């Protein structure tokens, strides 16, 4: 490792979001500028993992001042080097501007998006160089495994995790310590630990960000689990669509091996652990643990009946502990700081923090790690900056395709595993899709069913055919062909799919339909009985436009706006729309100065 002392570190976010918005070019440009001014030995440029505020990427932070620049472009680098690095003057125009006060905020800790966050799993993301093990160690990394191996018995590790109250972050919320206990108690000469990094919920990318931004925290968490349950071999099952995550994880594995943190006789003890990567081919169902294990074994990724649970009979029939990335990423902190400290954050039943991926019609999209027990309102309005373009909030979809849509009156619900289940949603992996007034809830349900149907493995009857039937009914409703009895049929079908499907994918697939029926039933009814889409989103249900003759002032603005010449009328006289010619584009409505046109 480079031992030189630099007067400044410049962190460039190298998460997938910022890579897409051009951080690589920014980095090259910055390095050129630094080289030109002979500053290479003074200023160190570090590419980090995801910083979370993807909306504003590419992101850059200049230390020691901690100045946060957003939406930086290659051509900005000359100014950054010239003004900030050489003259010590902050480049105001690249700072984050608070949308309400209009003030520029130089330090990211002061930005609303970050203020309410509390980071455990993401603590190093965006802060260290993920491809440099010493940076992880410098932040206290691998201390937990040192402590566990030299001072704790495996049972003590399990007890500490149990005491912490940590629950599975992949969706189910099963107590992690208890899961480890099962795998530890299971008899077997060979055991495995697996990390489920087959993150597949649309819009969720927290696991990818941890892998990209802090791969060693996952490795350390897995070593702790292996030590606790008595495993000597592990797999990280990560989807092949995450090339950057795989690359960084591979580098991290090599470095951990070189440094004696993976391999034989760790820390001079009898404990040995081998960890390898298994790339998945991107089937959503492979996030289901039994399908995931079938896939590692080289079989088609199809779920197997449970019980037996993996803890008893898992990979190749051996006792196996399987957790997701974020769960493992919480473990080193628990062992290092102790369960007591960990429990201070969150609620009694759901301790610690949870990472949410904010997407949809929200101002600040990105990743936010918040304490359990925070309200949805705080996440959406304080961190997420509210709804795009000043529109009204309508619903938030939480938990991906297995989750549910919650309406406005649930915004003050404190978020934890159990409260979400009570209202018909679930934590899932923590994807939050925010929807505004223009979103049709029937269409949302249709979207998710379309997803689960095409991702169903096709094994069991209710999931393979039942989700297809639900999708057909929903499609029918959104094009105005809904029939009386469709809602009841959807409900019966949903109940059947939930209670008779083989795996979690099918058992939760009807949730988007059930939750929208629960909170937005009137929208379904409007589609079926009145042939209208209250949100104005379902194209087939948009009727022709008409001009209110009394209100029309004959200004001719609409005639000029109409792209198909469907409006006729002399100046200062009432105008008329030819219904057959009208394509319902709405251009006239937007232009009419007296709001005389309605649908």
Q: Of 38 and 484, which has the nearer Cβ to other proteins? A: 484
Interaction between residue 89 and other proteins (CB under 8 A): no
Say which residue the tokens 């809830």 belong to. 441
Interaction between residue 64 and other proteins (CB under 8 A): no
Residues 515-574 that bind other proteins (CB under 8 A): none
The burial class, CB within 10 Å (0-12 / 13-18 / 19+), for 563 is exposed
264 to 303: interface string for other proteins, x by CB under 8 A = -------------------x-x--------------x-x-
Q: Of 22 and 308, which has the nearer Cβ to other proteins? A: 308
Report d(CA 13, CA 61) in Å as an integer. 8
Assess contact for 473 and 490: CB atoms under 8 A.
yes
Q: Of 209 and 452, which has the nearer Cβ to other proteins? A: 452
Interaction between residue 493 and other proteins (CB under 8 A): yes
| Binding-site member from 499, 529, 540, 564 for other proteins (CB under 8 A) | 499
User: Measured from the CB of residue 422, what is the shortest distance to other proteins in angstroms?
Assistant: 18
* DSSP 8-state symbol, 309: P
Q: Token digits for 122?
A: 């993401």
Report d(CA 457, CA 468) in Å as an integer. 13
| Binding-site member from 86, 178, 240, 489 for other proteins (CB under 8 A) | 489
Interaction between residue 150 and other proteins (CB under 8 A): no
| Among 274, 211, 187, CA closest to 50 | 211
| Binding-site member from 18, 253, 445, 502 for other proteins (CB under 8 A) | 502
User: Measured from the CB of residue 453, what is the shortest distance to other proteins in angstroms?
Assistant: 5
Q: Token digits for 454?
A: 């095409």
178 to 217: interface string for other proteins, x by CB under 8 A = ----------------------------------------
Residues ≥6 apart with Cβ < 8 Å to 7: 42, 43
User: Measured from the CB of residue 112, what is the shortest distance to other proteins in angstroms?
Assistant: 41
Say which residue the tokens 């990979």 belong to. 315
Residues ≥6 apart with Cβ < 8 Å to 50: 13, 15, 16, 17, 18, 125, 126, 205, 208, 209, 212, 213, 367
Report d(CA 189, CA 182) in Å as an integer. 15
User: Measured from the CB of residue 402, what is the shortest distance to other proteins in angstroms?
Assistant: 16
| Binding-site member from 469, 531, 532, 556 for other proteins (CB under 8 A) | 469
Interaction between residue 466 and other proteins (CB under 8 A): yes
Interaction between residue 468 and other proteins (CB under 8 A): yes
User: Measured from the CB of residue 460, what is the shortest distance to other proteins in angstroms?
Assistant: 5
177: left (phi over 0), alpha (psi -120 to 50) or beta: alpha
Q: Of 439 and 453, which has the nearer Cβ to other proteins? A: 453
Helices (H), 317-440: 325-337, 339-343, 376-377, 417-422
Residues 434-453 that bind other proteins (CB under 8 A): 453
| Binding-site member from 64, 298, 307, 390 for other proteins (CB under 8 A) | 307
Q: Token digits for 100?
A: 């309400």
Q: Of 107 and 461, which has the nearer Cβ to other proteins? A: 461
Interaction between residue 461 and other proteins (CB under 8 A): yes
Buried b or exposed e, range 259-297, using 16+ CB within 10 angstroms: eebbeeebeeeebebebeebbbeebbbbbbbbbbbbbbe
Interaction between residue 464 and other proteins (CB under 8 A): yes
Choose the stretch contacting other proteins; rule: CB under 8 A; options: 173-181, 326-334, 412-420, 492-500: 492-500
Report d(CA 228, CA 203) in Å as an integer. 33
Specify the pairing of strand 274-280 against strand 233-239.
parallel
CA dihedral (513, 517, 519, 520) positive or negative: positive
Interaction between residue 304 and other proteins (CB under 8 A): yes
Q: Of 489 and 581, which has the nearer Cβ to other proteins? A: 489
Q: Of 16 and 508, which has the nearer Cβ to other proteins? A: 508
List residues near other proteins by CB under 8 A.
Answer: 283, 285, 300, 302, 304-305, 307-308, 453-462, 464-469, 489, 492-493, 496, 499-502
């Amino acid at each position: 490792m480079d031992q030189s002392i630099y007067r400044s570190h410049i962190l460039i976010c190298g998460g997938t979001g910022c890579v897409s918005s051009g951080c690589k070019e920014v980095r090259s440009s910055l390095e050129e500028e630094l080289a030109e001014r002979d500053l290479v030995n003074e200023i160190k440029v570090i590419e980090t993992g995801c910083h979370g505020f993807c909306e504003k990427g590419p992101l850059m932070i200049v230390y020691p001042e901690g100045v946060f620049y957003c939406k930086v472009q290659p051509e900005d680098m000359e100014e950054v080097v010239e003004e900030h690095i050489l003259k010590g003057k902050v480049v105001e125009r690249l700072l984050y501007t608070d949308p309400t006060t209009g003030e520029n905020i130089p330090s990211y800790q002061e930005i609303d998006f970050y203020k309410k966050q509390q980071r455990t799993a993401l603590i190093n993301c965006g802060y260290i160089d993920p491809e440099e093990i010493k940076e992880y160690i410098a932040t206290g990394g691998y201390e937990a495994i040192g402590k566990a191996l030299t001072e704790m018995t495996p049972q003590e590790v399990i007890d500490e995790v149990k005491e912490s109250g940590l629950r599975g972050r992949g969706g189910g919320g099963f107590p992690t310590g208890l899961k480890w206990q099962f795998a530890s108690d299971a008899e077997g000469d060979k055991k495995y630990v697996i990390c489920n990094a087959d993150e597949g919920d649309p819009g969720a990318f927290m696991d990818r960000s941890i892998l990209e931004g802090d791969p060693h925290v996952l490795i350390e968490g897995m070593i702790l689990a292996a030590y606790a349950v008595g495993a000597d071999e592990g797999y990280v099952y990560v989807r092949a669509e995450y090339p950057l995550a795989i690359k960084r994880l591979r580098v991290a594995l090599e470095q951990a091996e070189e440094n004696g943190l993976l391999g034989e006789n760790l820390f001079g003890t009898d404990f040995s652990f081998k960890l390898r990567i298994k790339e998945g081919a991107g089937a959503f169902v492979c996030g289901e643990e039994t399908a995931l294990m079938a896939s590692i074994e080289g079989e088609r990724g199809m779920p197997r009946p449970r019980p037996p649970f993996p803890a008893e009979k898992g990979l190749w029939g051996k006792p196996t502990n399987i957790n997701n990335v974020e769960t493992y990423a919480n473990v080193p902190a628990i062992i290092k700081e102790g369960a007591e400290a960990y429990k201070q954050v969150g609620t009694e039943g759901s301790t610690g923090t949870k990472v949410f991926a904010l997407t949809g019609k929200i101002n600040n999209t990105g990743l936010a790690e918040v304490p359990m027990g925070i309200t949805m309102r705080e996440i959406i309005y304080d961190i997420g900056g509210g709804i795009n373009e000043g529109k009204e909030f309508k619903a938030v979809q939480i938990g991906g395709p297995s989750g549910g849509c919650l309406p406005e009156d649930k915004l003050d619900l404190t978020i934890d595993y159990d409260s979400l289940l009570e209202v018909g949603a679930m934590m899932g992996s923590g994807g939050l899709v925010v929807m505004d007034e223009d979103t049709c809830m029937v269409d949302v349900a249709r979207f998710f069913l379309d997803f689960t149907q095409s991702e169903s493995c096709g094994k069991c009857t209710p999931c393979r055919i039942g989700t297809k039937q639900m999708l057909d009914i929903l499609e029918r409703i959104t094009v105005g062909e809904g029939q009386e009895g469709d809602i009841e049929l959807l409900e019966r079908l949903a109940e059947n799919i939930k209670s008779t499907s083989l795996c979690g994918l099918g058992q939760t697939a009807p949730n988007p339909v059930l939750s929208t029926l629960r909170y937005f039933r009137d929208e379904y009814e409007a589609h079926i009985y009145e042939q209208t889409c209250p949100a104005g989103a379902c194209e087939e249900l948009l009727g022709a436009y008409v001009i209110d003759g009394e209100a029309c002032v004959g200004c001719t603005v609409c005639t000029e706006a109409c792209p198909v010449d469907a409006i006729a009328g002399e100046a200062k006289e009432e105008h008329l729309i030819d219904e057959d010619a009208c394509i319902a584009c709405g251009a006239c409505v937007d232009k009419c100065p007296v709001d005389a046109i309605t649908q």
